[in-house]
Structure 1
C-alpha cells in the first residue's frame, strides 16, 4: 500500500478561501462552548463542504472520512436522495407536534419496525441516542416496578443524567459530583478476551466466565431489584468489542430467568455499521427494548428512538407514559430516516459494509498488524473496527494509559496528526484508532485510508519496547 498522491487535494470547487475559514474559526472560538473539551485546547478545522466519503476545509484540503463524523454518517455526506427528501418535507411543513399523525413519522416507524429483531414493533422517537437510553430505562423501571439497572464498565450510553450514570468509561467520573446521578446503577465486566478480566484464553472461556460473573453480580445486587441490563450489542467508543458467540444469548437467558428487561443499545452499531440492520441480528437475539440513533438517518437531522416489545407497550395501554419530547418524531428527521433506509436498501449498503469488512478492512488491518510492533490486536465487523496500540506485544501495555490525556496521549496524537496530514480523518480513543468509514465506502477508498494509517503507525512504533 502507498500514500502517493493521496495527501493534499483541492475541494471539488477548487477554490480555497483561507480568509473565510479564519472567520469561521474566530466566530467559533468567540462564542461556542464545545462538548467533552477543555475550552482552551479547542482548535477546530473549519469545514467548507462535504460529499460522499469526503469533507474539505477552506484551504482546499480534502479528508477521507474514516470517522463517519461521530460514527453516524453511515451513508456518507450529502446523499442527493436524502437531501431531496428533507427539502420536499420542508416545502410541505417543517414542524408538526407529535400529537398529530403525519405520513413520514408513521412511515419511518413502520420501516424501522420491519427491520427490527423479533417482534419489536413499536417506536418511541427521541432526539438522539442519550435520551433514547434515558427513556428505555424509564420504560423498563415502570414496566417491572424495579429500581436498579446494570451496565458494563466498558460502555458509553450518552451524556444526559441517566445515560452518563450507565456509562462505564471515564466520562462518567466528573458527572458523579451531581446528586443522584449514579442512583440505582451498578456496573459489571463484559467480555474482552484481549484484556480478559476472567483470565480466559479462548472465546469460549471468556463467554462462559463473563456470564458467570454477570450471574454473580445479579445475585449480589438482588434479582428482584433489577429492572434492566443495558448492553451495547457491539461496544463502540470503549474499543469496538465484538461479543463472543453465545454471550448475548446468555444475557438474554439470565434476563428471562429473573424477569429483567434486556435493553440493547444500538445507537452506534445499528443501521449497517456491522453489516446488519442491527448488530444484535448477527447473534439471533431479541431484546425487550432497543435504542437507536446516529445511522437511522445518517445524522442529517437529529433523530433517535426506542423500539419496544409488545409486553412493554401493553404496560402503557391504559396508563399514560410519563415522558415525551417537543421534537419527538420531527417531520424533517423522519423524512430523512425514510429516505436513508430506502437508499441503504436500494444501493445495497449493508451488503457493501459486510463486503468491505471481509475483503478490505479485516485483511488489510491484519496485514498492518504484522508490520507494526505497536499493533496489539485488530478486531471488528463490517465497517466497525479498532486497532489496539501497545508499547509491548508481550505485556500488552497500552500505548496510552487508560483515561490518560495531555502529554501521555502524545503517541496516539502523533499517529492521528500524520493521518490528517495525509488527508484521512480517523477516530481515536486512548490507545486505539477506530476505523469506521461510511457503509457506502468503495474498496479503493478503503484501501487508500488503510495505506495512510499504515504509514502513520510508524509514529507509534517508535514508542515500542
Structure 2
C-alpha cells in the first residue's frame, strides 16, 4: 500500500465527509477528521504521507492489528460462499465461531448470543438477567463505560451518560475500587478491596437485594481508566451475587480476546460470571460483531420460554468468518502470549521508567497491552492535569500533549487526564519501544503544565 502524498484524493475524501457524515460524540462544526489512506499491522497513514504508530488500536479493538492477511482472506472466502443468511438458520461458520468463543470463556459459559457490537451485547445481557430473575434493578460502577444504546448508556458511569440519562432506567451506580483516587480513603490495595466490597454490600442492602437483577462490571475498566481490580475483589462480588441471587455480568468488550495477556481478563482472577459480554477483539472489528456468553442456568431459562430479543444481523456470516479466522490466528501465532510478554517485559517497565523522569506522570497501571498513564499537575496532591470532563481552554494541557504525540507519529488514545497505551496485541518489541520513545518526547508538553 502506498504512503505517498495524494492531495487530490485527500481533498475529495475530506469534502465528502464534511458534506455527508455525521460523526459520533462530536460537535459537527468543530471537528476536522483525519483522512486515512490505509493501514497495516501496527500502523496507519494519511493522504499527506504521514505514518502513525497506532497506540490506540483505533477504539481498542484492532487486537490482531490492521489488515491481518488470514482474516482478510477469510472474509473474502466467506463472501464468495454465503454473504448473509437470517439468524434463525444453522450455518457452519456461525456455529464454529460460537464453538471457538465458548471454548475460551471461563466456566460453563457455553451458549453464545451474537450481536452487532458491545452495546447491544450489554443490552441483551441486562434483558436476560431481568427475565431470569424477575427483578428490575441493575447496579454498575461510576467509573465505567458500557455503550451508547438506551440501557447501556444509563449503565455507563462516565459523563457521556449525562445528556441521555433518563433517571428511570432501573440503574443504580456505586463506587468500584481504585486506590490511586480511592473514594474509601484506603491506603493499601487490601483496604481498598475490603472497603469497596463493604460499600457494595451497603448499596445492595439499601436498594433491596430482592429488587436487583444484576451487577455489571468491566473486568478491567477500559475507557474510564484501566483500573486493574485488587486481588479478591471480583471473587468478593461473585460471592455477594451468589448470596443474594443476583446475576453477575462481566463486560469484556474491551478487555477480552488477549488485551490483558489472557483470552479473557477474568482468567487473571479465576472468576466465572453468569453472563459475559464481548465484541471488539473477537474479530478486531473487521466486521461488526459482539455477543453474550451465557451460563447453563440462564440459558435453561429460555429452553421452553422464548427469548424476546433478536437482531437481523445476529451471527452475520461475514462477521463470524472474521471471528473464526481471528481466533485461529491468535492461537496459531501466540498473539495472546505476545500481549502478555510485551506488557511484562516492555510496556510495564518502560512506562514505570518514564514515570520516574516525568513530573506529569502520577501513576501507570495495567496488564498486557492495556495500560493507562495518569497525568497530573501535582504529584503530591494528585491533582489531574485537567479537571474532570474538561473542555475548551480548561483542556488545553491535554490538547497540547495529544498534539505532541500526533506530531511525532504516535497516535494516542486520550481520555480526560489520561493516555491509554493500548497498541495491538500483535505489536512487536521494537514497535513497543519506539512508541515509548515517542511518548517520552511528547510528555515534555505535559510536564510544562506541572507545578
Q: Which residue of 2 aligns with 1:6?
A: none
Partner of 2:103: helix, strand, or coil?
A: helix
**Aligned residue for 1:267?**
253
The Cα of 1:226 is off from its aligned counterpart by 0.2
Aligned position for 1:277: 263
1:1-22 deviation digits (Å, cap 9, x = unpaired) = xxxxxxxxxxx52432012111
Tell me if structure 2 keeps the 8 A contact 1:117–1:286. Answer: yes
Other structure's SS at 1:115 match:
coil
Identify the residue that residue 24 of structure 1 maps to in structure 2: 13
Q: Contact 1:189 / 1:210 at 8 angstroms: preserved in 2?
A: yes
Q: Deviations over 1:433-465 (max 9, x none)?
A: 000000000000000011111110111111111
Residue in 2 that maps onto 1:3:
none
Pair 1:353 & 2:339 matched? yes
Residue 378 of structure 2, aligned match among 386, 389, 392: 392
Match of 1:244 among 204, 223, 230: 230
Q: How does 1:45-84 map to 2 (within 5 A)?
A: 45-84=34-73
Q: Please tell me whether the aligned partners of residues 234 and 279 of structure 1 are also in contact (alpha carbons under 8 angstroms).
A: yes
Structure 1 partner of 2:428: 442
Secondary structure of the residue that 1:457 maps to in structure 2? helix
From 288, 300, 318, the equivalent of 1:302 is: 288
Counterpart in the other structure of 1:156: 145
1:38 maps to which of 2, 17, 27: 27
Preserved CA contact (<8 Å) 1:419 1:425:
yes
Residue aligning to 1:9:
none
Deviation at 1:181, TM superposition (A): 5.9
Q: Does the 8 Å CA contact 2:3/2:47 hold for their aligned counterparts? A: no
* 8 Å CA contact 1:129, 1:291 repeated in 2: yes
1:228 counterpart residue number: 214
Give the 3-state SS of the residue equivalent to 1:264 in structure 2: strand
What secondary structure, in the 3-state scheme, does the structure 1 residue paired with 2:377 have? strand
- The answer to whether the Cα contact below 8 Å between 1:162 and 1:181 also exists between their aligned partners in 2 is no
Does residue 189 of structure 1 match 2:175?
A: yes
Q: CA, structure 1 residues 391+463, in 2 after alignment: closer, same or farther (shift >3 Å)?
A: same
| C-alpha separation in 2, matches of 1:145 and 1:215 | 21
SS in 2 for 1:251: helix
CA distance in 2, matches of 1:296, 1:218: 33
- For these two proteins, the number of residue pairs brought into alignment is 451
Q: Secondary structure at the match of 1:441?
A: coil
Tell me whether 1:97 sits opposite 2:83 in the alignment.
no
CA distance in 2, matches of 1:147, 1:119: 25
Aligned pair 1:322/2:308, yes or no? yes
Once residues 19 and 153 of structure 2 are traced to their aligned partners in structure 1, the CA distance between those partners, rounded to angstroms, is 28
Unpaired runs of 5+ residues, structure 2, are: none
Q: How high is the TM-score relative to the length of structure 2?
A: 0.99
* Residues 286 and 322 in structure 2, CA contact (< 8 A), matched pair in contact too: yes
Shift of 1:182: 3.9
Decide whether the 8 Å contact of 2:136 with 2:213 is kept in 1.
yes
- Per-residue CA deviation, residues 91-125 of structure 1 (Å, 9 max, x unaligned), is 01110001111111000000000000011100000
The answer (yes or no) to whether the contact 1:175–1:181 under 8 Å persists in 2 is no
Q: Does the 8 Å contact 1:366/1:378 carry over to 2?
A: yes
Say which of 125, 135, 138 aligns to 2:127. 138
TM-score (ref. length: structure 1): 0.96
Deviations 1:161-211 (A, max 9, x none): 0000000000000112xxx56421000000000000000010000000000
Within 2, Cα distance between the matches of 1:404 and 1:462?
18
Tell me whether 1:126 sits opposite 2:112 in the alignment.
no
C-alpha distance after superposition, 1:256-296 (max 9, x if no partner)? 00000000000000000000111011000000000000000
- The whole-number CA distance in structure 1 between the counterparts of 2:377 and 2:4 is 43
Please identify runs of 4+ aligned residues in structure 1 that moved more than 6 A.
none
Of 422, 437, 448, which aligns to 1:451? 437
Distance 1:464 1:293 in 2: 38
Ranges in structure 1 where 5+ consecutive residues have no aligned partner: 1-11
What does residue 85 of structure 1 align with? Answer: 74
Give the match's secondary structure for 1:366. helix
